[in-house]
Amino acid sequence: MNLTLIKQNYKSWNKASGIISKNIINNMVMKTFILSIFIFVLLAFTSEVQAEEMISVRLRNYIGDTSKIPFYIKGNYSTLDPALVLNEGDEYTISFKDGKMFLICGKSKMEIGSPFILYPDTYDEEHLIYIDGRPYMGAVEFDIEGKHIRPANQILLEDYLKGVVPFEVFPEWNIEALKAQTLAARTYTITHKNPQLDDTIQYQVYGGYNEFSNTKRAVIDTKGEIITFQNKPISAFYSASNGGITESNKNVWGGNPSPYFPIKPDPFDPIQPWDFTLQKTQIDLDEIQSKDWNELKEKDGKISDSIKKWLNRNGYEGDIKILGIPFMAIDKVKNESQRSMIGSIQIEFMRRLIDGTILFERVSLDHVELKKIRPMIGGGHFRSYLISSFEINPTSYKVSGKGHGHGVGMSQWGANEMAEEGKHYKEIIGHYYPGTQVKVTQTFQE
């Protein structure tokens, strides 16, 4: 069905809200304020709202950076344009070109203002927005971000957590571990919601609406519970595995050490050993001379892809081929948690510019903090700073270590081990955040 423009009155809207009129809507100028007002009105007549917070999440993880975003709706949704009606089941695309945003359905195309906001007539699980096939509850604001379109999902805190917990840990895990993860995620959200969260590992992985019953139960059974220290919510950091010893927040982010982030052995963490090998030569010289550009493939494809992305982010634009890593080293000096701190790396690469010019270049990081090198290799390979060994072989480097992540706060795998041994979720919290107390947010706010 094509996009339909019809005249509508506001009887149904005014009946539902009793406070919003067309004139007020037309006079609103702050886009986030507009969305907040709409969501508040939609929820004000339900028993779910009370003091629960709204969370805004920029969606990056699953859609990436794109100028076209497909979506469709389940249930009735409205926009800020009273003449624009979207139909359930129709497939739409929002596109961005030449500084303008367009809404496309079939062969119909119309220019729309930025931001473009969709909000449900009723906030419930029967009203969902499917963005690139993934469902989201609540409202969504599509806005321009540089050369791309960036959706932001507006959703209640507890529903946001239902979309976080099963994507941060395995939803089949022990319920006590899921509850501990829920408390950590809820507390982290409260202390990191400004500036706006996104759905990547830079904050917390958020996968939208889902049907995982165990994680929903964990959120519902612990509703409003957060982790506090001296009557204030903590920055409840966590990682997959600490490798058998927790880390201080000071060693990772600087500042003053927090008493609830001590360095101590963790008998519950399953260690999670890892290693990766990196070839010194990625593309042989004879290949450069005998093959076309698109035929050149690096020996370590996934790590090379990570290095290319790092180079692009750091000012080296264009198509890149990694030639080799002539030098790499990890210093023997370690901190008190036995994590390595300093390393060096050199990258030799070719870069093809938009006009076809090919440059041969080298980037060197000499005796820098490892946290500047690890993102280059990629956290999926270089999993932690708890390094067991570093080997330089004639044609390659091999790095071995333990754990996965920064090691501060709760070990997710360790939490599940504790739960499997019969520990209650509050015992898990007490082990990984010593000296803290669990409180309910409503009581805490009062």
137-191 pLDDT, tens digit per residue, is 999 999 999 999 999 999 999 999 999 999 999 999 999 999 999 999 999 999 9
Which tokens in the block code for residue 112? 């729309």
Question: How many whole angstroms separate alpha carbon 446 and alpha carbon 441?
Answer: 8
Torsion (CA) 115, 116, 120, 125 in degrees, nearest 10: -90
Contact 363, 311 (CB under 8 A): yes
pLDDT computed for residue 53 by the predictor: 85
- Give the pairing type, strands 387-392 and 396-402: antiparallel
**pLDDT value for 224:** 94
Distance (Å, whole) CA 82 – CA 22: 9
Q: Quote the pLDDT of residue 315.
A: 94
CA dist list (Å): 310 to 9, 10, 210, 313, 317: 52, 51, 33, 5, 10
What is the 3-class SS of 66-102, one letter each residue? CCEEEEEEECCEECCCCCEECCCCCCEEEEEECCEEE
Q: Compute how many other C-beta atoms are within 10 angstroms of the C-beta atom of residue 112.
A: 17
- In which element (H, E) is residue 4 found? strand 4-5
Query: Which residue stretches of the chain have pLDDT < 50?
Result: 1-30, 37, 41, 44-50, 444-446
Q: Whole-angstrom Cα distance, residue 187 to residue 181? A: 10
pTM of structure = 0.86
